[in-house]
Structure 1
């Protein structure tokens, strides 16, 4: 299903997106060496429910997962790049943490992810990998406008990732979003320009470049049946925003607002 949202629905999406951005920013500020991943999940739960929103993850049970996800946020540490299930584990200095959050508020969903280093030990390659996913996301957003095609966005992402020397997995990527979290069209992290669905005002997309340092192969964590890890155990990074296609281009909906401190 591909949804084209009305101006009133896009207005509501701005509120949902701002809430996602604020929650992620608030949690990032609170994360430190010794923070437990289950604490992060509780923080997310408190802020989501406190805002009158609903988690997209708690009852999420697609065919590739092991039953309902059962948590409020994805927490991927180091080699865990997607669907990181919170567990009783504490962060240590130098961990590369990815937070991925999707919620519904007043009938409209928004989805975003950030990657960052915990503590003071900062590996230059980790920082380069995070920055590359951020540049790839910016490149896709720059070409997102009415008349562009999904392949244009995918190619923009792929150019940045491949030029930086990363192998690209196209099995998981971005997606349409609206009244529900995952919709068509699929936005692969590599593709051909001029191909795919043509963008139009009112379309919302969650665009999410992600990479692994030395592989494009994923393995599923055998313990939780959800967390997707790099097949080689290498570090990973993931950046995501929800955007709305406007008459003239694209609007990023999941940037933090000035209300972070009040959450």
Structure 2
């Protein structure tokens, strides 16, 4: 686990501000343009403009992990309803009631940051979905609260999982958070469930992305979409995904990806 200096964390926070601006702009565009027609590709174009305006680059364009069938072709991920993560934004028009998760990472001056949010479109969102999103956000907050010098990595995982499971939600299997720095993904892998007081000790300078991924149906399993990129719930239930990039400092956790 690489540790970052205070100056490097400040540089990552600059990238984090761009990430936060992109997420805010895409959510605003989805809400404001819903009646006139808005698609995932439209949100991708919004993200590209914010990137250009802020002198940053998407970490996703051309990204090609070993499990993926081809390089990722878009600036951000836009996952809708039963698709949890990694969906390529397309030309399908978003509809009232859609549960939209936007995941985005960028690099600015050589440093990366990564975050995600989920929201429901339209004037009458399903209360059950809103409760799931609230639980995901509380799970994320619980994990962040454990990111303190002297704690252990299992404390973070346990806090996330305990909060999510208390309300009966599923947690997407085989997926979780990660280290981040010069590259978008690095060590350690951060489970969304685990045992407290286990794992490596947390030290100042460690920067992690925490990202709970909850499934309304209560199951953890999944399937891949036809393009090989999207990860969807196996039972077809809707899902949500929230994420922040967080640094451990001598003064406690510092969230780098919020405005």
TM-score by length of 2: 0.95
Aligned to 2:187: 184
What do the CA deviations read for 1:67-94 (whole angstroms, capped 9, x no partner)? 1011000000000111011111110011
Aligned to 1:9: 8
Structure 2 counterpart of 1:221, from 220, 225, 239: 225
Aligned to 1:40: 43
Secondary structure of 1:243 counterpart:
strand
How far apart, in 1, do the equivalents of 2:108 and 2:3 lie? 17
How far apart, in 2, do the equivalents of 1:210 and 1:27 lie? 20
Aligned to 2:248: 245
Unaligned runs of 5+ in 1: 257-263
Q: Is 2:125 aligned against 1:126?
A: no
How far apart, in 2, do the equivalents of 1:47 and 1:96 lie? 23
Secondary structure of 1:31 counterpart:
helix
- Of 167-176 and 146-155, more deviation after overlay is shown by 167-176
Q: Is 2:13 aligned against 1:18?
A: no
Q: Is 2:122 aligned against 1:143?
A: no
What do the CA deviations read for 1:38-87 (whole angstroms, capped 9, x no partner)? 11111111211221111110111012212101100000000011101111
Shift of 1:169: 3.2
Q: Is 2:115 aligned against 1:112?
A: yes
What do the CA deviations read for 1:135-160 (whole angstroms, capped 9, x no partner)? 00000111110111111000001100
Shift of 1:121: 2.5
Secondary structure of 1:68 counterpart:
coil
How far apart, in 1, do the equivalents of 2:168 and 2:67 lie? 29
Shift of 1:232: 1.1
Q: Is 2:78 aligned against 1:67?
A: no
How far apart, in 2, do the equivalents of 1:234 and 1:167 lie? 10
How far apart, in 1, do the equivalents of 2:98 and 2:39 lie? 12
What do the CA deviations read for 1:196-228 (whole angstroms, capped 9, x no partner)? 122111111000011111121110001x21000
Count of residue correspondences: 254
**Alpha-carbon contact 1:170-1:188 (below 8 Å) kept:** no
Shift of 1:19: 1.2
TM-score by length of 1: 0.94
Shift of 1:248: 2.8
Shift of 1:134: 0.1
How far apart, in 1, do the equivalents of 2:21 and 2:53 lie? 13
Unaligned runs of 5+ in 2: none
How far apart, in 1, do the equivalents of 2:145 and 2:182 lie? 25
